[in-house]
Amino acid sequence: MDEGHWQGWSGDEQEMPMPIPSLHTFSGQPHQGKRTMRELISSLQQAIKQNTLDSRRINDAIGQLQALGHKAYDAHKFPALPANTAEFSGDIGDTPQNLAEALLWKMGKWNTYKIFVENFNDLDREVSSDGGVVFSAFARYLRDPDAPIYDQHAMRAIWALGSLDATEEEKCTKFLFTGSGRWRQTGTGDNDASCYRLFVKHVNAICDTNQVTHAALDKLLMPLGQALKARTGNANVSDRQAFVELCWPS
C-alpha cells in the first residue's frame, strides 16, 4: 500500500495459516467489533497470501460478517441466475415487447437497457463506461460466467484483500473516494473501466492460486465491501484513512 502497511510475502519461510477467529469471539461491543473486523480482514489476507483460501473459509467469513451485524449475500434480492445465461435472447425492438422491458421503460431505463443489450450481443466489445461500467461488466458475465461480477463493493473488498500496487491504488482512490477522502455513493470517474480490468486481474490471481471459484468469491466480495464502507464511513478522520487503518493497521 502507498502508506507502507502492505508487505509482500516472500514465501521463503513456511508459515502456518492464520485461523479465522471463531464466532464466539465476537462480543457485540462497538470497540470489540472493530477489533474483530480487523482480525477477519487480516485472516483473509493471510489465507490469500498463503494460498489457503477455500469455500470453507469464505463461508466462515460470511458468518462472521453476520455476527458483526452485517448482511450476508441476499439470495432473496439476488436469486441464483440460471446456468444458461449466455443463451438469453439479445433481441430488442424500438419499443418494449414484454413485461420486463415495459417496466424498464417506465423506470426511464430504456436507453440504458438498449446499450446493455448491445454489450451483451457484442462478444468482442471491451467492458467500458458506455452504458455504465457495472452494467457493461454484468453483460460480459452473462455471456461468460468465468468473468467476475463487478461493482463498487466488490472493488472495495478486492482492494482490502488483494496486493494492489501504488498505481492501482491511485486509480481505486479516484474511483471510490471523493477529493476530500469520503466514499462516493457509487464508483465513478475516468478510472471506472481501468478499475474493472485491475479487479479482474486480482480476482483471477486469487482464484488461480487458491481453492476457490469465482462464484464462491463473489458471495464474499459484495457483503465484505458493504461492511467495509459501513465500518469506515463518516469517521472522525477521512473515510480513506479509516479504511487504511482498518485493513492495514500499523
pLDDT digits (tens, 9 = 90+) for 124-150: 888 988 888 999 999 999 999 889 999
pLDDT at 31 over 60: no
What is the rounded distance in angstroms from the CA atom of residue 28 to the CA atom of residue 53?
Answer: 26
Alpha-helical regions (H) of 92-234: 99-106, 110-121, 133-143, 152-161, 166-176, 192-209, 214-232
Torsion of CA 195, 198, 203, 204, to 10 degrees: 150
Confidence of residue 220 (pLDDT cuts 50, 70, 90): very high
**Average pLDDT rounded to a whole number, residues 37-55:** 96
Rounded to whole angstroms, the Cα distance separating 61 from 55 reads 10
The H or E element that residue 240 is part of is helix 239-247
- Identify the band that residue 202 occupies on the pLDDT scale cut at 50, 70 and 90: very high
Average pLDDT, integer, range 176-185: 93
Average pLDDT (10-18) is 32
In the predicted structure, residue 200 carries a pLDDT above the cut 90: yes
Q: Which pLDDT score is estimated for 191?
A: 65
Contact 148, 214 (CB under 8 A): yes
The answer to whether residue 1 scores a pLDDT higher than 80 is: no
**HSE-up (13 A, CA, CB side) for residue 148:** 30
Q: Is residue 233 over pLDDT 80?
A: yes
pLDDT band at 24 (very low <50, low <70, confident <90, very high): very low
pLDDT at residue 159, rounded to an integer: 98
Instruction: Specify the pLDDT at position 154.
Output: 96
pLDDT digits (tens, 9 = 90+) for 78-124: 898 999 999 999 999 999 999 999 999 999 999 999 999 999 999 88
Letter for the amino acid at 181? G
Q: What is the mean pLDDT of the chain?
A: 84
The grid coordinates listed for 114 are 438498449
Angle at 113 between CA 109 and CA 114, to 5 degrees: 120
Decide if 224 contacts 168 (C-beta within 8 A): no
The amino acid sitting at 10 is S
pLDDT above 90 as % of the chain: 68
Half-sphere exposure for 85 (CA within 13 Å, toward CB): 16
The predicted pLDDT at position 35 comes to 52
- Give the C-alpha separation, 62 to 24, whole Å: 14
